[in-house]
Amino acid sequence: MKHNLADARINVARPAWQHQRLVPRIVHIGCGAFHRAHQALYQHHLLEVSDSDWGICEVNLMSASGKALVEQLRAQDLLYSVTEKGATGQVVKIIGAIHSALHPALDGCEGILQALARPETAIVSLTITEKGYCTQGATAEPDFSHPLLEQDLAHPHQPASAIGFIVEALRLRREAGLPAFSVLSCDNLRENGHVARAVVTGLAQQRDPDLAAWIDEHVTFPCTMVDRIVPAVTEETQQEIAQLLGTEDPCGVACEPFRQWVIEDNFVAGRPDWQRVGAQFVTDVAPFELMKLRLLNGSHSFLAYLGFLGGCETIADTMQLPAYRRAALALMLQEQCPTLSMPAGVDLVDYAHQLIERFSNPSLRHRTAQIASDGSQKLPQRLLDALRYHLRHGSDCRHLVLGVAGWMRYILGEDEQGQRYTVADPLAAKFAQINQEYPSGAGRVQALLAIDAIFPADLAASDTFVTALQQAYAALCEQGARAAVASLNPESA
């Protein structure tokens, strides 16, 4: 088997343009699996059907794996594969939207700043996950005690965070008399453009109020909603891709066929015509992002915590259990949908049923442990905001409460058979402290509720919520996850 995608003879159509017409008008920070299967793929499809010259300069900032990915992309002529895995078949595409790929260890901070400050750079897009924004818990305000932001302030010309790179690049552009670019967040954050604006201008304000004012006036921060299930790439995934291609592709990703991209049309320096390949440009993204965060991401988290505890390795495994399938649908229709106000023509019931079928796709191995990671960053927008709605209205929210209880049990780091596992979360050290002092009982619930970076004060002070959560947590520990989920809808069991 050959080992170079650029040289291998494969039966998959290659990009006709082979990079020669690409101009790096987009700098994307965070070249992870989701970006490669979503935004880069949209741009690839646009290149297929138009004479667009918009190419992507990929930037990875963190970790040895990010450096390795950049090296691998370069080794295979910046090409990689996307395998769309449906329930009954697979489609493989070779993606050619990448113009270049950078990493600080390979190119230095200077090389990345140079790319960001190029006159042709019109969009800087982001998939850096919730924790990459370095905010204060569930707020949009920058956390200046965060080690990355501390480094950005101490050494502003050698930034460490994505936010620091953007601020320094905008300073360079301002000093050179160049126009601003748009900052396009594609992360699963509520009002992600507003969050990006708050942290960028907040960091700039600490450095130079005049720079912050220039950014606030000239830079746009469109909000987006992105949707596609892209499991983390495993060794098994890479083997499947190699069999389909006839060559290894360490940069390849596998995903579901479904994809959606809703974008606020607010770009200061132009944008690609992504609407030609299925993206939807709107004036207000908020209803769509709430729909996705609460229905898809909220039910995903519910299934991840309670599925993992119940012995399910993947989301598709949870869908094989009727109680989990019923609970996920009831969570969406009965407890999440009432919190949403959607534009005319959006069918939430149909969307929820589509999600159940997407979750059931046996070809996707979306691991519950992957979705369960970084829960401290995900809970507020996926479950807690909807809980606050129900507490205000006095309505039933037992699925949401059990989802939070599931998270509290999951971060104990020990499954129902007594096997230990690692909890991946920015607050893991805090959790370990609580686990040692409060391994069980009502005191554990109270200790976790006291983490104000996760739980708003009104939730933590609500006797109704605290009592319901303590009861749900006790039942979960006594009965086990599968029995606790089944008890949610006993009338239909």
Model pLDDT, residue 401? 98
Are the CB atoms for 74 and 251 separated by under 8 Å?
Answer: no
* All domains in the chain, ordered by first residue: 23-282 (3.40.50.720), 286-492 (1.10.1040.10)
State the maximum Cα–Cα separation within the chain, in Å, rounded to a whole number.
Answer: 68
Q: Could you tell me the pLDDT band of residue 79, with boundaries at 50, 70 and 90?
A: very high
Q: Could you tell me the pLDDT band of residue 413, with boundaries at 50, 70 and 90?
A: very high
Question: Beta strands 253-255 and 224-227: pairing type?
Answer: unpaired
Distances in Å between the alpha carbon of 192 and those of 20, 62, 260, 288, 492?
A: 33, 21, 16, 12, 38
Model pLDDT, residue 404? 98
Are the CB atoms for 465 and 387 separated by under 8 Å?
Answer: yes
Helical spans, DSSP H, in 279-347: 286-291, 298-309, 315-319, 322-330
Q: For residue 135, what are the contacts with CB-CB under 8 A and spacing of at least 6?
A: 141, 142, 143, 195, 198, 199
pLDDT in tens, 80-123: 999 999 988 899 999 999 999 999 999 999 999 999 999 999 99
Are the CB atoms for 42 and 48 separated by under 8 Å?
Answer: no
Describe the strand order of the beta sheet including 253-255 as a list of residue ranges. Answer: 90-95, 80-85, 253-255
pLDDT in tens, 246-302: 999 999 999 999 999 999 999 999 999 999 999 999 999 999 999 999 999 999 999
Model pLDDT, residue 493? 44
Q: 27 is written with which tokens?
A: 């700098």
Q: What angle do CA 328, 333, 338 make, to 5 degrees?
A: 135
Report the pLDDT averaged over residues 235-253: 94
Task: Write the DSSP symbol of residue 79.
Answer: -
- pTM here is 0.89
CA distance linking residue 117 with residue 278, whole number of Å = 30
